[in-house]
Amino acid sequence: MWVPLICFVVVALLATAGTGVVDAAAGRREVYVVYMGAVPPRTPPSFLQETHLRLVGSVLKGQVARNVVVQQYNHGFSGFAARLSKEEAAALRRKPGVVSVFPDPVYQLHTTRSWDFLQQQQQTDVVVKIGSSAKSRHSPNKPSAASSSSSATTAGDTIIGLLDSGIWPESPSFDDAGFGPVPARWKGTCMSGDDFNSSNCNKKLIGARYYDVGEVTRGGGVRRSGSARDQAGHGTHTSSTAAGNAVAGASYYGLASGTAKGGSAASRLAMYRVCSEEGCAGSAILAGFDDAIGDGVDVISVSLGASPYFSPDFSEDPIAIGAFHAVAKGVTVACSAGNAGPGSSTVVNAAPWIMTVAAATIDRDFESDVVLGGGNSSAVKGGAINFSNLDKSPKYPLITGESAKSSSVSDNKSASHCEPGTLDAGKIKGKIVLCHHSQSDTSKMVKVDELKSGGAVGSILVNDVERSVTTAYLDFPVTEVTSAAAANLHKYIASTSEPVATITPSITVTEFKPAPVVAYFSSRGPSSQTGNILKPDVAAPGVNILAAWIPTSSLPSGQKQPSQFNLISGTSMSCPHVAGAAATIKAWNPTWSPAAIRSAIMTTATQLNNDKAPMTTDAGSAATPFDYGAGQVNPSGALDPGLVYDLAEEDYLQFLCNYGYGASQIKLITSSLPSGFSCAANASKDLISDLNYPSIALTGLGNSSSGRTVSRAVTNVGAQEEATYTVAVAAPTGLDVKVVPSELQFTKSVKKLGFQVTFSSNSTAAKGTLSGSITWSDGKHTVRSPFVVSK
Ligand SMILES: *[C@@H]1O[C@H](CO)[C@@H](O)[C@H](O)[C@H]1NC(C)=O
Ligand SMILES: *[C@@H]1O[C@H](CO)[C@@H](O)[C@H](O)[C@H]1NC(C)=O
Ligand SMILES: *[C@@H]1O[C@H](CO)[C@@H](O)[C@H](O)[C@H]1NC(C)=O
Ligand SMILES: *[C@@H]1O[C@H](CO)[C@@H](O)[C@H](O)[C@H]1NC(C)=O
Ligand SMILES: *[C@@H]1O[C@H](CO)[C@@H](O)[C@H](O)[C@H]1NC(C)=O
Ligand SMILES: *[C@@H]1O[C@H](CO)[C@@H](O)[C@H](O)[C@H]1NC(C)=O
Ligand SMILES: CC(=O)N[C@H]1CO[C@H](CO)[C@@H](O)[C@@H]1O
């Protein structure tokens, strides 16, 4: 799982940095993260730095401490990353004060198709001049919300930090017109680098940092990326989704036109560039968290994560570690759930202190239809983005991939799927080729490139699963149809000796129904770490999201100016929507903990689509809490939740006890514990379900009628101090759910009340995962918690 890239780079960097002869052992050195828990009280960063250097110096053989340390963590938590041999890492693991030592992992950004897209960009090699020309193109836009009301002025004081691929500061989404001075508590900086200096930050984009460990070039050399400037587009997109200004007239070459606006348009932004094109090093992710905490951000948005097939322990996962210390300091952390769905147990970033975000569609679609010839003018509906120049009349021969099979290929199936190398170029030239495409196949872009180079004029891809996520094929006419629609195409082809067709230009369809639906790619629960916490937490828009982009992407043919916006999909896109919502809640309720903010978002989430029917997945099945947690985020409802399920750092430590950590390890992680802290003797995985979470998950219920009981407590945060809430339970047949008491009376002096939920099932008919909800209501607020119970 470890990509050896990082260690190689650092070795090379040191070699060129003039450290003299690189000893033989250095070739086997790797970057390890040495995590040392919370910063001890009243410890200045400079002292901590010296401590780290002395510690690493005590285990080094033939190296100078300063030359092996590549990152230091001194603000939000203590630790460092260093180039170590296996033996040195093992020696550090045994040192007092060290919580964990682990090889530096490489995580990936959570977009679905941008990597395909990036590869294509590299091949086409279109270079657009960047810098001042980009600046002059931008028309300043006044963020309407920033100065219009007093509450928005407060929102202007919240700061969202993003750990991502950098930012394009010239985008109108980051213009600072109308913003007041940078909040006085801000301690961050605007780091200079390649094509980026302090003039690129302003009162909107108030900070930018990068963590340079260098990149290996194709030729084997080392290139230092050295800039917060975004070369991938991802960080620019997520930043503008979280807090971009309202920019009128935004579109992707005319598609999806409208106003692009971030979730919290009045918030400030700070970019922590932790990713390069190769991925995101764990050592850099930790450095980003450490600085974001020290700089004073209110919310951290993280649209990246580990592979779902590698689920590191919390103490060896840079995101879990960084987020833990952020949350302990009152900073809300939202993370993408991952794009490894729809298989179960694929969710990542599932620590209980993180808000884990799934992705759903919005009510917008991009339609590009197939018009058939032969007097049959009816069109077959498809979807994609094309920039083609096909004639409006259906005059292009339409064939199946199978009928163009190359004589050297025996397998009809791979030809019907248009797999590379299976088609005869002579047979596809000038034609529209119908190809089957399911998820497991070669990527769409690879197929389409092959058809294009073979001289085809267009392609129709048959794809049931991925249809809801629009792909931009740019200058080659491609549309995607369902297998039901494809059956009509096959019928037509069989019905005539000269089948002809054309593909119509893409149009934007709004108020598309049903929406939202959970996207196929969105990673699903249960978490592989524990089934006793429900993950993901919520869903948010993550399909075909229009947001700011870098102007250096390749230009579709016929287009003269690069688009300042792009449409992309992934839980990467849904996460910053929730980060924006969290920043707005924080602005209205500055004293709320991250847990209270998450609770407000979860208990007010919605479960209905725009057909007023229960939300489904894009495959049409009913959505479950493992697909979308508490449901689709409802940012305005979340501002007035009525009750919240609150949590403090001790609760998370108790969780770690129940999870199996020893008290001595836990004591190192935190700095705020009384010295007598110990894990309860009855600590157990079952008690994890008792964490005061806004959802309930419970495994191993069994068949006994006595069942299992979990505890919860809610705090009244509504405007009315005197409030009476009653409970309503929605449970599946075969599962008994009792809530005691069933009424909660809050008064001026009683702000927090506990209750217990008992689940039992002696019904053998009730099998698998049973889900439902518990809802408290005072007639004005609806405070809903989903539950999942398995026998
Ligand atoms: C930043 O770079 C721009 C363009 O190169 C330059 O005009 C400006 O003076 C620089 N600002 C600072 C503070 O160095
Ligand atoms: C493969 O396709 C050819 C022509 O389309 C057809 O004659 C043949 O029967 C097919 N073979 C199989 C195994 O389906
Ligand atoms: C025309 O095409 C549609 C769908 O492609 C099909 O349902 C219909 O039967 C066709 N009509 C004729 C007359 O071929
Ligand atoms: C676990 O032990 C603590 C005391 O250490 C006690 O307060 C708590 O009720 C016990 N929980 C259970 C489920 O037995
Ligand atoms: C519950 O009952 C079912 C059906 O009789 C059985 O398969 C299952 O093993 C039982 N579960 C437990 C935990 O006893
Ligand atoms: C199942 O439990 C209910 C009470 O929850 C009880 O009335 C019923 O008799 C039980 N059935 C069996 C088969 O044990
Ligand atoms: C979105 C878009 O630009 N679609 C194009 C598809 O191709 C037609 C030409 O056939 C253009 O007119 C559309 O603009």
Atom of ligand 4 nearest to the CA of 687: 13
- Nearest CA among 575, 666, 664, 634 for reference residue 781: 634
Amino acid identity of residue 598, one-letter, is: R
Active site residue 110: no
Dihedral, CA atoms, 614, 618, 620, 624, nearest 10 degrees? -50
Q: 137-146, 615-624, 638-647, 671-680: lowest mean pLDDT where?
A: 137-146
Q: Identify the top-confidence range among 405-419, 561-575, 628-642.
A: 628-642
Q: Given pLDDT bands bounded at 50, 70 and 90, which one contains residue 588?
A: very high
10 Å Cβ neighbour count for 724?
Answer: 13
Structure tokens at 515: 């929406």
Per-residue pLDDT at 9: 30
For 267-298, what is each residue's pLDDT tens digit?
Answer: 999 999 999 877 899 999 999 999 999 999 99
Give the mean model confidence (pLDDT) for residues 89-103.
95
Q: Is 123 in the pocket of ligand 1 (CB under 6 A)?
A: no
CA of 169 to the centre of ligand 1 (A): 13
Higher pLDDT, 774 or 41: 774
Contacts of 448 (CB under 8 A, 6+ apart): 459, 461, 473, 476, 478
Ligand in nearest proximity to the CA of 680: 4
Contacts of 571 (CB under 8 A, 6+ apart): 110, 303, 336, 337, 338, 339, 357, 358, 359, 521, 522, 523, 542
Per-residue pLDDT at 391: 82
For 200-257, what is each residue's pLDDT tens digit?
Answer: 999 999 999 999 755 545 554 545 568 999 998 999 999 999 999 989 888 888 888 8
Q: Given pLDDT bands bounded at 50, 70 and 90, which one contains residue 112?
A: low
Active site residue 230: no
Mutational pocket test of ligand 5: of 686, 701, 703, the residue with most ligand atoms within 8 Å of the beta carbon: 703
Per-residue pLDDT at 127: 25
For 668-700, what is each residue's pLDDT tens digit?
Answer: 888 777 666 788 889 999 999 999 999 999 999
Per-residue pLDDT at 126: 26
Per-residue pLDDT at 89: 96
Number of alpha carbons in the 13 Å side-chain half-sphere of residue 24: 0
Is the preceding omega at residue 562 within 30 degrees of 0, hence cis? no
Predicted TM-score of the model (pTM): 0.86
Residue pair 548/259 in contact by the 8 Å Cβ criterion? no
- Integer Cα distance of 174 and 152 in angstroms: 17
Give the mean model confidence (pLDDT) for residues 119-144.
28
Compute the mean pLDDT over every residue in the chain, rounded to the nearest whole number.
85
Atom of ligand 1 nearest to the CA of 132: 4
CA of 200 to the centre of ligand 1 (A): 8
Taking every pair of Cα atoms in the chain, the longest distance, rounded to a whole number of angstroms, is 86
Higher pLDDT, 537 or 29: 537
Per-residue pLDDT at 49: 94
301, 572, 689, 785: the active-site residue: 572
For 311-327, what is each residue's pLDDT tens digit?
Answer: 788 999 999 999 999 99
Residue pair 130/552 in contact by the 8 Å Cβ criterion? yes
Atom of ligand 4 nearest to the CA of 683: 1
Structure tokens at 129: 């001049």
Q: Given pLDDT bands bounded at 50, 70 and 90, which one contains residue 18?
A: very low
Q: Please, what are the domains in the chain?
A: 22-103 (3.30.70.80), 114-363+517-552+561-638 (3.40.50.200), 364-510 (3.50.30.30), 691-790 (2.60.40.2310)
CA of 405 to the centre of ligand 2 (A): 10
Mutational pocket test of ligand 1: of 189, 191, 196, 197, the residue with most ligand atoms within 8 Å of the beta carbon: 197
In 225-354, DSSP assigns E strands to 247-252, 255-260, 268-273, 275-276, 279-281, 299-302, 304-305, 332-336
Per-residue pLDDT at 245: 93
Q: Which residues share a beta bridge with 435?
A: 461
10 Å Cβ neighbour count for 604?
Answer: 25
Question: Does the pLDDT of residue 5 top 70, yes or no?
Answer: no
Per-residue pLDDT at 373: 85
% of residues, the chain, pLDDT over 90: 61
Ligand in nearest proximity to the CA of 200: 1
- Full 3-state SS string of 536-547: CCEEEECCCEEE
Question: Does the pLDDT of residue 131 top 60, yes or no?
Answer: no
52, 75, 110, 234: the active-site residue: 234
Per-residue pLDDT at 393: 83
Structure tokens at 738: 């009792």
Contacts of 96 (CB under 8 A, 6+ apart): none
% of residues, the chain, pLDDT over 70: 86
Question: Does the pLDDT of residue 134 top 90, yes or no?
Answer: no
Active site residue 75: no
Mutational pocket test of ligand 3: of 369, 376, 493, the residue with most ligand atoms within 8 Å of the beta carbon: 376
3-class SS at 405?
strand
